[in-house]
Amino acid sequence: MKWLRWLVPSVALLVVLALGWVLFGGSRSRPTPPVASKVVAATLRDPALIAKGEYLAAVGDCAGCHTEQGGARYAGGRALATPFGNIPVPNITPDRVTGLGDWSFEDFWQALHSGKGRHGELLYPAFSYTSYTKVNHDDALAIFAYLQSLAPVHQPAVAPALAFPYSVRNSLKAWRALYFREGEFKPDPAQSAEWNRGAYLVQGLGHCNECHAARDMLGGTPQDVHLTGGQIPMQNWYAPDLSARKNGGLEGWSAQDIVDLLKTGQSAKGVAFGPMAAVVSGSTQHISDTDLRAIASYLQSLPPRAPMAEPGTPFDARTLSTQGEKVYAKHCADCHGKRGEGVAGVYPPLDGNSSVTEPTGINATRMVLLGGFAPVTAANQRPYSMPPFAQQLSDGEVAAVVTYIRRAWSNKALIVRAEAVSDYRHTPVD
């Protein structure tokens, strides 16, 4: 009867698609030529505006997606893998043929704010306009001025490879009706200026919620789900909950801990790794101390979370943990400490570390398999690293040691089985 579980959502999807088509049927707009733009060319050449845009482009980590491995920055040329197919990442340098050279600010604003291309075509939300819509006009203008100041790079986009019905752009009408609320960030007058600045950056340009919230089967995040953590589709890492209060993923983190992690890649509570290591290196280390404190202030205001159900003790948990304790003593304790306390500034603690205890066990498992360097930042240019254990430990040994660290000391998370380790061993590294 497994197919029944898929039938209902599939039918629902088709109904929603059809409705979207009928309700929001085809209007297309024309591009605004740069000469007809309200923004004069001299404005876009203002060095102060360009400098501001460069900073904001770093905050938004635009280069993180819009740069191919080994390629020119912002020149696109790669495809972003999604559960619905591969979506080409465009060139946003001012090349006239393959980039934004012929774009006006109005075109750019329509993309960033409304999620529509130059010709009014609906953009795939792999471009996180669900967040960028909150960016205000002045900041968008600065980013546009910066992008237009780059050296043009001629690089055509790769071809899209999306499965039906996602290959039909108008199917996005239904998606947008469900998940997209267009509108700039509205400050909350009851909160401080610092809090509002943090909320603006986290919800808008920072697009933190795009990873740090679970997506449903249509790849959307319901409007009321905010930074509660989720598995990142395709990449298969778990982006933890970001509440610093009771039962939150950052429970016990001070504002300074949050600032430290974003600035240097590590804090007394943990080290950024996987996709977050790239975010720290490419983006957050460049954020000003004032803005980082604002971000921390906002994250610290996120509400407490409901306690996770206390996991039962499966019959094999004790065996796994006992075996894992031996693996831990042999391979892990020298760096992470016998009690999982870590070494300040060098190796992260594992006790009370939400990346160890997150619901899925993916992060700890993949860290054991892959190892790797802590993020490279101006504050940590020669980071320490962890050996990859994929070659040294069997699936069973990895499952045992991960189960041990998830249940030792004050940690109380679910066990990880060898079958899951086998899956993650074959997850593509990207």
Partner 1 sequence: MTTNARTCPVRSFSVATLLAIVLLPGAPARAADTGDTPPIPDTLQQRIAACTSCHGVHGEGRPGSGYFPRLAGKPAGYLARQLQDFQNGLRKYAPMEYTVRQLPPAYMREIAEYFAVQQVPYARSPLPPVSAATLARGEELIAKGDPARKIPACSSCHGSQLTGVEPSTPGLVGLPYDYISAQLGSWRTHTRATVAPDCMAEVASRLGESDITAVAAALASRELPADTHAQPAGSVTPPLSCGVLGATGDPS
Residues that bind partner 1 (CB under 8 A): 69-70, 277-278, 281, 333-335, 337-339, 341-347, 370-373, 375-376, 381-392, 428-429
Q: Name the nearest CA neighbour of 325 among 426, 402, 395, 230.
A: 402
CB of 418 to partner 1, least distance (A): 20
Q: Is 65 annotated as a binding residue?
A: yes
CB of 427 to partner 1, least distance (A): 10
Is the Cβ of residue 121 or residue 334 nearer to partner 1 in the bound state?
334
CB of 266 to partner 1, least distance (A): 12
Q: Is 336 annotated as a binding residue?
A: yes
CB of 377 to partner 1, least distance (A): 9
Q: Is 207 annotated as a binding residue?
A: no
CB of 382 to partner 1, least distance (A): 5
Is the Cβ of residue 70 or residue 183 nearer to partner 1 in the bound state?
70
Is the Cβ of residue 73 or residue 305 nearer to partner 1 in the bound state?
73
Is the Cβ of residue 299 or residue 386 nearer to partner 1 in the bound state?
386
Is the Cβ of residue 40 or residue 346 nearer to partner 1 in the bound state?
346
Q: What is the DSSP string of 161-208?
A: EE-TTTTSTTHHHHHHHHH---------TTS-HHHHHHHHHHHTTT-G
Is the Cβ of residue 220 or residue 337 nearer to partner 1 in the bound state?
337
Rounding to the nearest 10 degrees, give the CA dihedral for residues 284, 286, 291, 293. 60
List 231's β-bridge partners, or say none.
Answer: 238
d(CA 176, CA 287): 31
Q: Return the DSSP state at 374.
A: P
Q: Is 226 annotated as a binding residue?
A: no
Is the Cβ of residue 209 or residue 411 nearer to partner 1 in the bound state?
411
CB of 344 to partner 1, least distance (A): 7
Contact 277, 383 (CB under 8 A): no
Is the Cβ of residue 371 or residue 396 nearer to partner 1 in the bound state?
371
Q: Is 113 annotated as a binding residue?
A: no
Q: Is 62 annotated as a binding residue?
A: yes
Q: Is 331 annotated as a binding residue?
A: no
Q: Is 332 annotated as a binding residue?
A: yes
Strand ranges inside 223-309, DSSP E: 230-231, 238-239
Contact 363, 355 (CB under 8 A): yes
List 266's β-bridge partners, or say none.
Answer: 271
CB of 92 to partner 1, least distance (A): 20
Quickly count: other Cβ atoms within 10 Å of residue 253's Cβ. Answer: 24
CB of 8 to partner 1, least distance (A): 38
Sign of CA dihedral 385, 390, 392, 397: positive
Q: Name the nearest CA neighbour of 101 among 57, 144, 158.
A: 144
Contact 31, 182 (CB under 8 A): no
d(CA 353, CA 334): 18
User: What Cα–Cα distance (Å) separates residue 212 from each residue in 56, 233, 237, 238, 266?
Assistant: 20, 11, 11, 8, 18
Could you list the residues known to form a binding site for heme c, using ranges: 62, 65-66, 208, 211-212, 332, 335-336
Could you list the residues known to form a binding site, using ranges: 62, 65-66, 208, 211-212, 332, 335-336
